[in-house]
Amino acid sequence: MKALVINCTLKPSPEPSNTHALAHVVARQLVDQGVEVRFVRAVDLNIKPGVTGDEGEGDQWPEVHRMLLDAQILIMASPTWLGRPSSVAQRVLERMDAMLSETDDAGRPVAYNRVAGVVVTGNEDGAHHVISEIAGALGDIGYTVPGQAWTYWHLGPGAGPDYLDDERGHDWSDRTGRAMAANLYGVANALERNPLGPPPG
């Protein structure tokens, strides 16, 4: 089984990313369960604006698209900015919109029988809103979002320190992240054994 983590931080590599640090907790739990995990930092790529699978010369979204189709588990990880998902997360979701019109050989939307969860960090409150926006979009695209397939960290309300700068709250966020990984893995296995069929005509 394979998992893809798309880190939607605004910080390009190799700058340390709080969002990566918490997503890595989830990934480590998946690895312990035998899952192969791959990370992508979307801001490092030339992901052009648009809602198609390929926006032309220089567009690196097709590479990400291939990785999405190769993974049974997707983790979208985003910081909170102004109480909302990052602009990078929004760009990724807009490009994933093209998957709505893609089907497999059985006529199923390509996101069917794949599971997704959400990781959020930020030095402000608003994590639940970010989770709901991203999870709702992933559900629209066709992913199955299991119960409690999310974790977050912040010390709100209001502005505060970053995940990598303050150990407070890590126990809860990390424990919730490990539970998220277990739920994603469990539901992915269930869908592999008993896959959804194509939508009724």
pLDDT in tens, 84-94: 999 999 999 99
Confidence of residue 11 (pLDDT cuts 50, 70, 90): very high
52: helix, strand or coil? coil
| 191-77-101 Cα angle (round to 5) | 55
pLDDT at residue 124 is higher than 90: no
pLDDT band at 159 (very low <50, low <70, confident <90, very high): confident
β-pair type (36-41, 2-7): parallel
pLDDT band at 54 (very low <50, low <70, confident <90, very high): very high
Sign of the dihedral defined by the CA atoms of residues 55, 12, 115, 120, in that order: negative
Omega prior to 161 cis, within 30 of 0: no
pLDDT of residue 164: 87
Least confident residue range of 98-102, 153-157, 162-166, 171-175: 153-157
* pLDDT higher than threshold 80 for residue 114: yes
Q: 87-96 vs 61-70: helix axis angle to the nearest 10?
A: 70
On the question of pLDDT at 156 being above 80, the answer is: no
